[in-house]
A = this chain, B = another copy of it.
C-alpha cells in the first residue's frame, strides 16, 4: 500500500469524497451441513488502497443519480443482482476510515430471496462468503458488516424483517430457518411456532407446500407493516 498523502494534516486539507456501498445478505445452504446460513457477496479490489483485499460492492455517485439509484446500479454492475429489498443502512464517515483523504460512504443494504441470489454473478473477483467468516476486508468494511448484522438481528427480534428473506407465502418452519440462520443458533420448533402464531403479522392461507410429503405443511403470508421501514415513504 503506497499512501498518496505523507501525513495526516496534508490529508485533512482535502474535502471528503463520497462513495456508495452495499451489504447484500442472502440465505444459502451451507455446503458442508446443508443448513441455511447468512451469506454475502464481496468483490476483490483491483486498485490501491487495499488492492487484492475483498470489499463490499460499491462505487461512486454519478451526476444526476439519486443515492438509492446509485446503490442499485453499483449492486447490479458488480454482482448482477437487482434486489427488491434495498434500503439505506447508515453513513460511515470517520476521519480515519481510509488512508486516502476522507471518504464518506453511504451504505445501503439488500436482503435477497433465494430466487434472486441464484442470479448473482460469480467469478474470480466476485465471490460469496459466510457472513461470520469474511476474513480481513478493505477499509472499515468488517465494521460495516458487523453493524449490518447487528441491525439485522435487532430488527429480527423487534420487527418483521425476517419476511424480507421469504417469498409471498412460506411455512412456519421456513420462518424458523431464517431466524436460525440470522441469529446463528437453533430455536425450539414448538416454542417458535407458538410465538409466531401469536403475532398479528402473518395469516394462514388455504394452501399447503407442494411436494411428496405425507402431511404437507400449511402456507402463511405476511400481513404486517411495510418491511422497508426506514425507506422514504411513497409521496
Query: By the criterion CB–CB under 8 Å, are A13 and B63 in contact?
Result: yes
Query: By the criterion CB–CB under 8 Å, are A95 and B16 in contact?
Result: no
**Chain B residues whose CB sits within 8 angstroms of the CB of A93 once the complex forms:** 18, 61, 66-67, 106
Question: A61's closest neighbor in chain B, by CB?
Answer: B16
Query: By the criterion CB–CB under 8 Å, are B64 and A158 in contact?
Result: no
A95-B225 CB under 8 A given contacts A104-B18, A150-B233, A159-B158:
no
List residues 89-113 of chain A with CB under 8 A from any CB of chain B: 90-95, 102, 104, 106
**Bound CA span A67–B92, Å:** 8
Question: A16's closest neighbor in chain B, by CB?
Answer: B18
Question: Quick one: CB contact mask for A142-161 with B, threshold 8 Å, 1 for yes?
Answer: 00000100110010011100
Q: Would you call A115 an interface residue if the criterion is a C-beta within 8 Å of the partner chain's C-beta atoms? A: no
**Chain B residues whose CB sits within 8 angstroms of the CB of A159 once the complex forms:** 158
**Chain B residues whose CB sits within 8 angstroms of the CB of A90 once the complex forms:** 88, 230, 232
Q: Would you call A229 an interface residue if the criterion is a C-beta within 8 Å of the partner chain's C-beta atoms? A: yes
**Chain B residues whose CB sits within 8 angstroms of the CB of A232 once the complex forms:** 90, 147
Q: Would you call A123 an interface residue if the criterion is a C-beta within 8 Å of the partner chain's C-beta atoms? A: no
Query: By the criterion CB–CB under 8 Å, are B18 and A95 in contact?
Result: no
Q: Measuring CB to CB, which residues of chain A are less than 8 angstroms from any residue of chain B?
A: 8, 12-13, 15-18, 61, 63-67, 88, 90-95, 102, 104, 106, 147, 150-151, 154, 157-159, 225, 229-230, 232-233
10 residue pairs bridging A and B, Cβ less than 8 Å apart? A8-B64, A15-B15, A16-B61, A65-B95, A66-B93, A67-B91, A67-B94, A88-B90, A88-B91, A90-B230
